[in-house]
Amino acid sequence: MSHGLTSQNTRGVVNMGVASENLSKIIEKMNNISKAQQVFVTNIAGKDVDWVMNFQFNLDNEDPFYIEIKERKANLNGGTVSDPGIVLSGDNNAILKICEGKGDFTHAISREQITVEKGKVMDVIRFTRAITIVLKTK
């Protein structure tokens, strides 16, 4: 299901489905909210270390896409990433609900709407914290 939005990436223009379209809007805001960006920093022995992570999304009714987190920024790209830290599959409408603030990844995973095929659920929860900050910021 495409809403006609596109995203530019290294592979050219990609048609976006409902999940990627809505996540793209959240990420755009996320990259401009310092509190959300702080979720992507870990303090190790008194030194700030930026979180580097790739989330691969293989969702029903949607072309594959991935979110790359590095340098305290998130970027959404169409296609697949070669070695993702997290691979998520399942119902693209569950992602839409998360973007609307009507649930989070924890609920979607426990209801088996979203499956973590690879990676740690705690990393998914960390990304959820950044989404929640964006949704609460007016």
Mean pLDDT by 10 residues, the chain (138 residues): 40 64 93 95 90 94 94 94 95 89 86 93 92 91
Taking the model in full, what pTM does it have? 0.84
pLDDT recorded at residue 18: 85
Pair 28, 104: CB distance under 8 Å: no
pLDDT recorded at residue 51: 93
Query: Class of the 2-131 domain?
Result: alpha beta
pLDDT recorded at residue 15: 54
Amino acid at 113: Q
Sign of CA dihedral 133, 31, 85, 118: positive
